[in-house]
Amino acid sequence: MAYEKKQTEHAHADHQGHTAEHFREKHLMLDPLPRGQMNDMVMESMLEKPTWKYWAVIGILSFIVVYFLFYKWGVLIAKGQGVAGVMRPDYWGIFLVNTVFWIGISHAGTFISAILRVFRAEFRRPFTRAAELMTTFGLVQAGFSIFMHMGRVWLAYWLMPYPNQRMLWPNLHSPLTWDLLAITTYLLSSTMYLFLPLIPDVAMARDRSTGWRKTFYKTLALGFRGTEGEWTHLRNAMNIFAFAIIPVMFSVHTIVSWDFAAATRPGWSSTIFGPYFIVGALHSGMGAAVVVIAVIRATMKHMKYFIRSEHFDAIGKLMLIISMAWAYFFFNDYMVQWYGGDKWTQQLLHFHEAGPMGWMWFTMLICNIVVPWAILWNPKWRATPWLVGTVGIIINVGMWFERYIIIPISVTINRMPFTWRLYKPGIEIPMGIGTLALFILLYMIASKLIPLIPVWEVQEGQMAHELKKFGRETVVTVSELE
C-alpha cells in the first residue's frame, strides 16, 4: 500500500511540471493568441519605427558595401586579378572560398523550410521565412563572389547558353558550366519558394497598411483573398516546390564539390566530396540560421513570443547531429586519402596539419567538432539563445576555414614542387567583408519590408495542436489539417 501511495505521489509530483501552463509557456504551438492580435504583433514588429541604432548600423553597412564591395570591385576590374592574392599555383583564392561558403549558408534555408516541411517538423513554423531569406540573400553573395573571381567579368554572359551568330555554346564538359546552371536553377527556384509562402502574409499586411506599403503588398499578394480555392492552389504549389527543391539543393552543392572533385589534383580527386560538401553546407547553414534567429529574437519587437528556447533546442539538436555527420565525412575523406598512400596526397595532408597554415586545420576541427559537441549535448545550454548563436558563429568560422583549406591551401601543393608557394590574400579580404555586409544589409532592409514570421503557418500549427485532459493527465494532441 505504502508503495502504491508513493507511486501516486510521485506521479502527481511529476504532473506538477506538466500542467497546461507549463506546456503553453514552453511551446509556441500550444500557446495560441487570437489571430488578429498575432497579425498585429507581426505588423508591429515590421513597422516599428527604426531606432538610431538601426540607422547607424545601416549606415556603416552601406559604407562597407559601397567602399569595400563596389569600389574595390571597380579597382579589381580596372587593374586585374593582380590586386588579389592569386598567383601560380594558387589560381583559385578567397573569392571561390566565399562562393562555396555562401552557397553553403544558403542551404540551411531550403533544409529548414523544405525538408522540415516535408517531414512535418512542427518546430520549423516560426522561422521558415527567416531561413528562406538566408537562401536567397546568400546566393546573391555567392553570385557576386564568383563574378569577382573571373578575370574578365564583363564577358560573364559568355558562360550562358544564348543563341549567337558564331554558334558558340558553353562547354558542357566543364564542371563550372554545370555549376552555373545549378546555381541559377537554385536561385530561381529558392526565390519562388520564398515567395509562395509569403503570399498569405503579404495579403495580411496589405489589409493592415496604408500608403506606398499598401501598393507594395498589393502587388506582391497577387490578389490573394484567402478563399478555399486559393489555399488549395497555394498548398499544391508549395508541396510541389517543397519536394522538388530538395533534389535541387542536394545537386547544387554536389556540383560545387565536383568543381574540385573532377579536377586532377592531389587532395581534390575525391569521390566523397559530394556528400561531404552537402553536410558541410548544412553545418554552416544551420549555424548561420541560428545566428540570424537569435539576432531577430533579441532585436525585433514581439519576437520573444514567436521564437522560444524550444526552437533553439531543436536547432541545437540538428546542429549536433550535422556536426557528427560532418566529422564522419571528414574522417572518411581524410582516412581514405591517407591510406591511399599517393605521395602527393601525403605531402598535401602533411602540409595541411604541419605546414605554415597548420593552425587553421586544427582551429577548423575545434570549431566544427569540439565546440558543438562540448556545448550542444546539454539541453540547458542548447536552449540558451546567445550560447547557441555563438556556437553558430564559431561553426561558420570553422566551415570558412574548411573551404580555405580545401581551396588555396590545397592548391599550394601540386605535382610540380617548383611552383609551390604560399597564398597571401589581397583585395579579397575587404571584398569578402563587403559581401558579409551586403548580406546583413539586405536582411535588415527585408526585416522592415516583409513579415519575417510566417504568421499563417504559425496559426495553422496552433490550430492543429491542442491540449486535452485525460483524467488528471494533460496531453498534447495534433490533428492533420491538410
Partner 1 sequence: MATLADLKISEVKLAAEQTGKWGMVIDQDICTGCQACVAACAMENNVTFVGEVDSGYGRSMHWIRIERFWEGEYPEVKMTPNQPMLCQQCGHATCEPVCPAFATVHSQAEQLNLQVYNRCVGTRYCANNCPYQVRSFNWRDYQRPEPLPNQFNPDVTVRRVGVMEKCTFCIQRIHKAQDKAKSEGREVVDGEFTTACAQACPANAIVFGRVDDPESLVSQLGKQSHGVKHLEELGTLPNVTYFKGG
Binding site for partner 1 (CB under 8 A): 79-83, 86-92, 149-153, 155-156, 158-159, 168-171, 173-177, 180, 259, 262-265, 411, 414-419, 421, 424
Q: CB 84 → partner 1: shortest distance, Å?
A: 8
Residue 164: CB minimum distance to partner 1, A: 12
Q: How far apart are CA 258 and CA 179, in angstroms?
A: 9
Residue 343 or 469 with smaller CB distance to partner 1? 343
Pairing verdict, β 465-470 and 473-478: antiparallel
* Residue with smaller CB distance to partner 1, 41 or 357: 357
- CA pair distance 344, 42, nearest whole angstrom: 57
Shortest separation between residue 100's beta carbon and partner 1, angstroms: 14
- Residues 114 and 284: their CA atoms lie apart, in Å, by 17
Query: Is residue 465 within a helix (H) or strand (E), and if so which, with residue range?
Result: strand 465-470
Candidates 280, 258, 252, 255; CA nearest to 404 is: 280
Sign, Cα dihedral of 102, 103, 108, 109: positive
CB 322 within 8 A of CB 282: yes
Supply the minimum distance, in Å, between the C-beta of residue 421 and partner 1.
4
Nearer to partner 1, 59 or 80 (CB): 80
Q: Phi/psi at 346 (nearest 5 deg)? A: -65, -40
For residue 73, the minimal CB distance to partner 1 (Å) is 14
Please identify, using beta-carbon distances, which residue of 59 and 82 lies nearer to partner 1: 82
Residue 84: C-alpha distances to residues 77, 334, 420, 423 (Å)? 11, 30, 18, 10
Q: Take residue 306 and report the three cell numbers written for it.
A: 514567436
Beta carbon nearer to partner 1, 269 or 363: 269
CB nearer partner 1, residue 53 or residue 166: 166
| Nearest C-alpha neighbor of 290 from the set 382, 225, 177 | 382
Grid coordinates in use for 395? Answer: 561553426
Residue closer to partner 1 by CB (options 93, 461) is: 93
Nearer to partner 1, 84 or 307 (CB): 84
Q: Least separation, in Å, of the C-beta of 139 and partner 1?
A: 19
Shorter beta-carbon distance to partner 1: residue 235 or 424: 424
DSSP 96-152: HHHHHHHHHHHHHHHIIIIIHHHTT-GGGGGGHHHHHHHHHHHHHHHHHHHHHH-TT
Largest CA distance in the chain: 95
CB of 345 to partner 1, least distance (A): 13
**Nearest distance from residue 256's CB to partner 1, in Å?**
13
Least Å distance between CB 348 and partner 1? 14
Q: Which long-range contacts (CB under 8 A, 24 or more apart) does 361-364 make?
A: 361/401, 361/405, 363/397, 363/398, 363/401, 364/398, 364/401, 364/402, 364/405
How is residue 392 written as a grid cell? 553558430
